[in-house]
A and B are shown apart, each in its own frame.
Chain A
Amino acid sequence: MELLNLNIPSWSDLAYWRPEAILCGTFLAALLGDLIGRGRRPAISFVISVFGLITAGAYSVAAVLHGGAAHTIMGDLIIVDGMAAFFRLLFILAGLATVLFSWTAEEIMGRKRENKAEFFYLTVLMTAAMMVMAEARDLLMLFLSMEAVGLVSYVMAGYMRTSLRSTEASLKYVIFGAVSSGIMLYGLSLLYGMTGAMTFDGIRAGLLAGEVNGLSLLITVILILAGMSYKIAAVPFHFWCPDVYEGAPTPVAAIFSVGPKAAGFALMIRFFYTTLAAGADPSASAPLIELINWPLLMAVIAAVTMTYGNLVALRQLNVKRMLAYSSISHVGYLLMGFVLLTDAGLAAILFYLAVYTLMNLGAFFVVVALNNHIKSEELDDYAGIGFRAPWLGTMMVIFLASLTGVPPFAGFAGKFYVFTAVMDRQWFWLAILAALNSVVGLYYYFRVVKAMFLTRPAEGADTTPLKIHWLQYTVLAVLAVPTLVLGFWFGPLKVLADQAIGLLSTGM
C-alpha cells in the first residue's frame, strides 16, 4: 500500500482554525476545572468558559477584519471562508450571552440544581460544534458535525433531569433527531452512490457529468432535507420544536432557537449552493436546476412554514411556546432568501440571522429573568409585570417589536433586505404571503406587550418591584441596543454580510 496519495494535514492548518481549537480546549479545561472543584465549584467552569469564549471571539473578529480568501484545511474536509467567519461571530455571541445569562438563571443555577458546571462547558462545546457545521465541505463532516450538535443538544434539553417536562422534551428531541438524521444519512448514501464522490465539489461534478436520473435525485434530496429541516425546524419537521422549547430549561431553549438553527442554515447554504447549484449564480446553476428544481421545493416549504408557524402561534397562551412557533415562522422568512440563487438573497439571510439572533435571544432571556421570580411562562401570569420591572418590560417591547418587523427596529431592516431580494427575482406570490404573515405576527407579539403593560394583575397579586440581577441587565442591554440601533444604522452589518457572501461565491 502506498501512502503517497494520502492527504496529510499540516499543523499550520490550525492557524485558520484558532477559534474552534480554543473552544475545544476551553471545553476540556472547564471539564478539568469542574473535576478539580469536585463538582461543587461551578464558578471555575463558568470563568474558564467565559474567558475561552471571549478569546475565541477576539480571534474570530480578527479573522473577519483580516479578510482573506477561503482556505480548505484539515485534509480538505473543512473550509474556512467569509461565511464561516461570519457565522463564528454569531455562534460566539449566542454562546457567550447564554453562558453569562445562565449564571443567574434559577433553572440552571438554582440551589437544588446539580451539574451546574456541565451546562457551561457543554454550551462551549456546542458553540464549537456549530462552527464546524458552518465549515463542513464533505458528506462525512456534514453528518459528523450535525450529530455532534445534536448529541450535545439532546443532553442539554434533558438538563433538569428530575423535571417531567425536561425529560419529555429531551426524549422527543432525541427520538425525532435520531430518526431524521438516519433518514438524511440514507439520502447522503444515495447521493454518494450516484456521484461516487464525498466532497461537495465532487458531487456537483458528478451530477454535471450527466447520467443522473432527475426523479432519483429528487427523492434523494427530499431524504436529505428531512435531516436538515429538522435542524432548522421547518415544516414538516417542526413538531419537536414547541415541545422542546417549552420543556427544556429556558436558557437552553434560547440557544436552541438561534444556534442550531443558524448552523443549519449555514450548512444548507454550503451544501445546496455547492452541490446543487454553482454558487449564487442563476445562469451557471441552470443545468443543475433543470435536473432538480429545488428552489421551487424550498419556496413551498418556506411558504408553508411561515404560515403554519404564525397561525398556530396565534393560539398559544404560553410565552415560550408562542416564541417557539414564532421562531418556526421566522425560519419561513429566512428560507425565502434561500430560494433566490443570488448573492443578495444569501446576504439577506445572513443579515436576518444576525438580527434574529439578537432579538430572539433577548426575548427568551426576558422570559428567563421573569421565570426567576414568578416561576411561570403563562401569559396570564405576565399581567401587569411591566410595572413591576419597567426596564425589563421596555426591553421586551423592543425585542418583540423587532420580531414583528416594525420600523425603526432591526427586524424591519432584516425583513426589508429579504423582501427586496425576493422582489428582485420576481417571486411575487412568496413576497405577498410573507407580508400577510408579518401582519398576523403583529397580533400575537402585541398580546404579550398588552399583558405586560395594559392588563391589571389579579386581585391580591404580588405587586412589589422585581429585583433583576445586574448581569442580566447588562446582557439584555448588549442585545437590546443593537436591536434598536441596527434598525436605522444597518450599513456596517450589511457590508459584513455582503463580504461574507462575496467570499463564498469566489471561494467555490
Chain B
Amino acid sequence: MMDVGLSHFVVVSALLFCLGLFAVMKRRNAVGILMGVELILNSANLNFVAFSRYVQHTIDGQIMATFVIVLAAAEAAVALAIVLAMFRNFGNVNAATATSLKR
C-alpha cells in the first residue's frame, strides 16, 4: 500500500460525494435529502482543503472551505425552516407527497 497522498483524499471525497448523491436520490424525507446535501458539501470541502495543502500551498482553499461551512449553515437554517413550514401545512415531510402542483 502506498503512502497516503493527495489521491487518497480525492478518492475519499469521491466516495463521500457519491454516497451523498445516493442519499439525495433515494431518500423521500426532506430532512434525509438535506443530510445527503451535507455529505456532498463536506466532500467538496475535503477536496478544497486537500488541494490547498498539496497543490496550491496557500490558504485559499481553506478560506473557501470556511465560507462553504458558513453558507451551509445558512442554507440549512432556511431549508429546515421551509421543512417545518411544510410540516405545518401538509402534516408530514415527505417530499413525494407534496403534489398540490400539477405534474
Contacts and interface: CB of A to CB of B under 8 A. Distances in A.
Direct contact of A and B (CB under 8 A): yes
Interface of A: 139-140, 143-144, 147, 150-151, 154-155, 158, 161-165, 167-172, 174-175, 178-179, 182-183, 185-186, 188-190, 192-193, 196-198, 242-243, 246-247, 318, 321
CB-CB nearest 9 A-B residue pairs? A189-B47, A182-B40, A193-B51, A185-B44, A168-B98, A196-B56, A186-B44, A196-B55, A178-B37
A167 B13 CA distance: 33
A242 B102 CA distance: 9
Nearest to A161: B85
Q: Which of B78, B90, B95 has the most CB of A within 10 A?
A: B78
Nearest to B68: A185
A193 B44 contact: no
Given A154-B78, A168-B86, A179 B48 contact: no
B102 A179 contact: no
A188 B79 contact: no
Please report whether the interface of chain A is mostly helix, strand, loop or mixed according to DSSP: helix
Contacts, number: 125
B89 A162 contact: yes
Interface string B63-101: 110011001001100110011011001100001001111
B85 A190 contact: no
A183 B86 contact: no
B77 to A, nearest CB: 9
Given A164-B89, A168-B100, A188-B44, A179 B95 contact: no
A139 B10 contact: no
A242 to B, nearest CB: 8
Nearest to A144: B67
9 contacts: A164-B90, A165-B101, A167-B90, A174-B82, A175-B34, A182-B44, A183-B21, A193-B50, A321-B102
A328 B79 CA distance: 25
A367 B34 CA distance: 34
B101 A158 contact: no
Given A171-B86, A175-B33, A196-B55, A155 B44 contact: no
A167 B82 contact: yes
Contacts of A247: 100-101
Given A185-B68, A186-B17, A174 B79 contact: yes
Contacts of A198: 60, 64
A179 B82 CA distance: 15
Nearest to A140: B64
Contacts of B82: 154, 158, 167, 170-171, 174
Nearest to B77: A151
Contact of B64 (A139, A164, A165, A243): A139
A183 B40 contact: yes
Contact of A147 (B60, B75, B83, B85): B75
A163 B88 CA distance: 11
A325 to B, nearest CB: 12
Contacts of B17: 186
B61 A192 contact: yes
B44 A189 contact: yes
Given A147-B75, A192-B61, A179 B101 contact: no
Interface in B9-44: 10, 13, 17, 20-21, 24, 30, 33-34, 36-37, 40-41, 43-44
Contact of B102 (A154, A172, A246): A246
A186 B37 contact: no
Contacts of A197: 56
Contacts of A147: 71, 74-75
Instruction: Among A143, A189, A247, find the residue whose CB has the most chain B CB atoms closer than 10 A.
Output: A189
Contacts of B24: 179
Nearest to A185: B44
B40 A186 contact: yes
B101 A168 contact: yes
B47 A165 contact: no
Most B CB contacts (10 A, CB to CB) among A158, A162, A182 go to: A182
Contact of B98 (A172, A182, A190, A242): A172
A167 B78 contact: no
A171 B83 contact: yes
A312 B98 CA distance: 22
A167 B30 contact: no
